[in-house]
């Protein structure tokens, strides 16, 4: 089918081979090379069409965006043209990013302005949520980790998107990457009728771009800043978690703030990140995408960090009575090593240092709570240790050696704290879900409900989770080499960068799981269900599959 792009045409549908519209007589070949096939959407700004480029081999698909000025007043029409050309230049500059559609052409034809862009095949996030339901916390964090670097890139090009929302984020069918579309060129229109009697400067600035609910107050007041896009990303994340658009959520009648927290089931630390992204006041919001990425990197440590700070207050009081050192705890040297160790962000290193210090302090505090007679052997040993620590010279040579060694490491090592299966089970039964960056020795937790747990970067070689409910669990960057995950429920689990080499995943439910960059070398996926999982063909070729394996496209088969 051919489609007529004349806004006045009453019946735009035409046969595929037609070159002239049978209804209005308009040419169906735009700019002597583009043929529109169907309408993709319409609005006050104009319309968008799926088309093919007749001048290129294979007639590749493209998207044509048509801007329809509402007035032909000469000086206002000229301003619309200049604005259009400026936005086309911007799109041409930022289209070098692999997750931004490329600008292929732009031109003016019969008092209409046209942009031709790369066609991105796939479903947008709004369609994903409607089809599959809301995202888990791990899925929402994965979304932020994918989209924020794109936002950071466009901001580095001095561009504010101004219309980030689920419908403008497409999951590209080819590689499952998110692509940010619709950069506002066709929406940066002037309300020509409203400003017909205004000055030129007023005409160029008297318009607001954005979707109500997704655009923050300062943007709707025509003063967008980079942080305006951060707010829109936060609202989009909220939609993914709840399936509700902003207009379906309640607002505090006194403050005007959105009341969303009762609709989500997420950790307090992740909620705090979202809360700051959604601040109505610009000065209290994250100012850049990098700030959000830093906060997310630190997020797994936040609860321990808060408790660690409380413990440190008590530790400082005790140190004041023990000559500046905690008994049995030579903190200075070890803490410096941790904070200056692996080449991660300063926030992560601080969190790791405080967590390690917290664990050591609790251990030592338990030892101090055991009464010792000053004359007893234990009391004499404690006094000698304390005296040695107070007078022991600080060594810098060992620290330098460790720093040099750590400088070659890009991923922080898990803490040396070791937990057994009983420790994990006991903690989980008491409400604990965060087991990140731990050494989980000989872990055996078959046929248990561990949904929503966090095992980020933990070491779990040969762990036994057979038949367990691990839905929405965060295994990001964890080591599950040779683990037994047979018949486990890993639906929507976060397994990005996870080592699953030689793991037994026979019969496992991996629907909608995030396996981006996971190591599947030798993993047994026979009979596993990978429907809609985020995993590449190259990854699956390294694993073992059979006729019973359900592939991401829903078909059974082998690679």
The reply to whether 102 and 128 lie within a common domain is: no
Comparing 141-145, 206-210, 362-366, the range with the smallest average pLDDT is 362-366
Confidence of residue 241 (pLDDT cuts 50, 70, 90): very high
**Does 357 fall in a domain?**
no
Confidence of residue 77 (pLDDT cuts 50, 70, 90): confident
The reply to whether 105 and 144 lie within a common domain is: no
First and final C-alpha spacing in the chain: 37
Query: Residues 400-415: what's their mean pLDDT?
Result: 40
**Does 362 fall in a domain?**
no
The reply to whether 190 and 108 lie within a common domain is: no
Q: What is the CATH number of the domain that holds 30?
A: 3.30.200.20
Instruction: Show the tokens assigned to 390.
Output: 């107070």
Which residue, 118, 134, 162, sits at the end of a domain? 118
Distance CA 459, CA 522 (A): 19
The reply to whether 138 and 109 lie within a common domain is: no
User: Looking at the 3D structure of the chain, how many domains does it have?
Assistant: 3
Residue 20: per-residue pLDDT: 94
Residue 67: per-residue pLDDT: 80
The reply to whether 261 and 140 lie within a common domain is: yes
Contact, 487 vs 507, CB < 8 A?
yes
The reply to whether 112 and 126 lie within a common domain is: no
Helices 346-368/302-319 angle, 10° precision: 50
76 φ, ψ (degrees, to nearest 5)? -75, -35
**Does 294 fall in a domain?**
no
**Does 351 fall in a domain?**
no
pLDDT above 90 coverage of the chain, percent? 47
Average pLDDT of every residue of the chain: 78
CB within 8 A of 421, min separation 6: which ones? 442, 443, 444, 445
**Does 308 fall in a domain?**
no
Q: What digits encode the pLDDT tens for the residues 20-46? A: 999 999 999 999 999 999 998 876 567
Q: What is the CATH number of the domain that holds 179?
A: 1.10.510.10
Contact, 239 vs 140, CB < 8 A?
no
Query: What is the gyration radius of the CA atoms in the chain, in angstroms?
Result: 29
Comparing 155-169, 171-185, 225-239, the range with the smallest average pLDDT is 171-185
The reply to whether 109 and 191 lie within a common domain is: no
The reply to whether 436 and 542 lie within a common domain is: yes
**Does 365 fall in a domain?**
no
441 φ, ψ (degrees, to nearest 5)? -80, 130
Between 139 and 331, residue with greater pLDDT: 139
Residue 529: per-residue pLDDT: 94
**Does 479 fall in a domain?**
yes
The reply to whether 82 and 145 lie within a common domain is: no
Does 3 score more than 80 pLDDT? yes
**Does 8 fall in a domain?**
yes
Could you say which of 53, 105, 109, 163 is catalytic? 163
Does 373 score more than 80 pLDDT? no
Which residue, 94, 118, 142, sits at the end of a domain? 118
Q: What is the CATH number of the domain that holds 502?
A: 2.160.20.80
Does 384 score more than 50 pLDDT? no
Residue 123: per-residue pLDDT: 94
The reply to whether 92 and 163 lie within a common domain is: no
Range of the domain at 260: 122-287
Which residue, 118, 152, 182, sits at the end of a domain? 118
Q: What digits encode the pLDDT tens for the residues 452-472? A: 899 999 999 999 999 999 999
Residue 89: per-residue pLDDT: 83
Residue 14: per-residue pLDDT: 95
Task: Look up tokens 């100012």; give the residue.
Answer: 287
The reply to whether 141 and 254 lie within a common domain is: yes
Residue 190: per-residue pLDDT: 36
Assign 3-class secondary structure to 57-96: CCCCEEEEEEECCCCCCHHHHHHHHHHHHHHHHHHHHHCC
The reply to whether 36 and 106 lie within a common domain is: yes
Confidence of residue 291 (pLDDT cuts 50, 70, 90): very high
Comparing 40-54, 266-280, 311-325, the range with the smallest average pLDDT is 311-325
Give yes or no: 163 in active site.
yes
Q: What digits encode the pLDDT tens for the residues 385-395? A: 344 444 444 43
CB within 8 A of 485, min separation 6: which ones? 465, 466, 470, 503, 504, 505, 508
Confidence of residue 80 (pLDDT cuts 50, 70, 90): confident
């Amino acid at each position: 089918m051919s489609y007529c792009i004349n806004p006045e045409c009453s019946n735009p549908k035409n046969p595929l081979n037609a070159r002239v519209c049978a209804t209005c007589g308009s040419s169906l070949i735009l700019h002597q090379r583009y043929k529109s096939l169907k309408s993709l959407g319409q609005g006050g700004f104009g319309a968008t069409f799926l088309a093919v480029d007749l001048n290129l081999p294979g007639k590749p698909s493209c998207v044509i965006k048509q801007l329809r000025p509402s007035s032909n007043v000469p000086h206002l029409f000229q301003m619309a043209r200049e604005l259009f050309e400026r936005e086309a230049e911007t799109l041409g500059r930022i289209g070098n990013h692999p997750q931004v559609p490329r600008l292929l052409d732009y031109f003016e034809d019969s008092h209409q302005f046209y942009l031709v862009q790369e066609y991105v095949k796939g479903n947008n996030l709004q369609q994903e949520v409607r089809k599959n339901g809301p995202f888990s916390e791990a899925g929402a964090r994965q979304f932020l980790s994918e989209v924020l670097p794109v936002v950071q890139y466009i901001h580095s090009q001095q561009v504010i998107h101004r219309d980030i929302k689920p419908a403008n984020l497409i999951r590209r069918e080819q590689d499952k990457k998110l692509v940010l579309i619709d950069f506002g060129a066709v929406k940066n229109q002037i309300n020509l009728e409203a400003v017909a009697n205004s000055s030129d400067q007023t005409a160029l600035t008297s318009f607001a771009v954005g979707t109500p609910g997704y655009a923050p107050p300062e943007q709707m007041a025509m003063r967008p800043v980079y942080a305006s896009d951060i707010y829109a990303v936060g609202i989009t994340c909220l939609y993914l978690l709840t399936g509700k658009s902003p207009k379906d959520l309640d607002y505090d009648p006194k403050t005007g703030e959105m009341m969303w927290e009762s609709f989500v089931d997420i950790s307090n630390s992740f909620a705090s990140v979202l809360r700051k992204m959604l601040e109505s006041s610009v000065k209290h919001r994250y100012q850049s995408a990098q700030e959000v990425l830093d906060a997310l990197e630190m997020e797994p440590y936040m609860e321990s960090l808060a408790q660690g700070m409380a413990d440190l207050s008590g530790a400082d009081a005790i140190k004041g009575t023990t000559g500046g050192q905690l008994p049995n705890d030579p903190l200075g040297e070890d803490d410096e090593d941790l904070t200056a160790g692996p080449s991660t962000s300063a926030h992560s290193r601080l969190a790791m240092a405080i967590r390690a210090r917290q664990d050591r302090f609790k251990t030592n505090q338990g030892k101090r709570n055991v009464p010792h007679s000053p004359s007893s052997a234990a009391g004499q040993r404690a006094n000698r240790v304390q005296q040695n620590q107070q007078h022991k010279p600080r060594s810098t040579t060992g620290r330098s050696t460790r720093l040099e060694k750590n400088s070659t490491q890009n991923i922080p090592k898990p803490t040396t704290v070791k937990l057994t299966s009983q420790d994990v089970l006991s903690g989980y039964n008491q409400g604990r879900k965060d087991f990140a960056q731990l050494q989980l020795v000989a872990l055996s937790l078959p046929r248990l409900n561990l949904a929503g747990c966090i095992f980020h970067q933990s070491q779990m070689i040969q762990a036994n989770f057979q038949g367990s409910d691990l839905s929405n669990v965060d295994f990001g960057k964890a080591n599950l080499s040779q683990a037994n995950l047979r018949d486990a429920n890993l639906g929507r689990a976060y397994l990005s960068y996870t080592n699953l080499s030689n793991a037994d995943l026979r019969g496992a439910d991996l629907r909608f799981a995030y396996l981006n960059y996971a190591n599947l070398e030798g993993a047994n996926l026979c009979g596993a269900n990978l429907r809609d999982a985020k995993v590449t063909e190259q990854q699956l070729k390294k694993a073992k599959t059979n006729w019973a394996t359900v592939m991401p496209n829903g078909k059974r088969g082998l690679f």
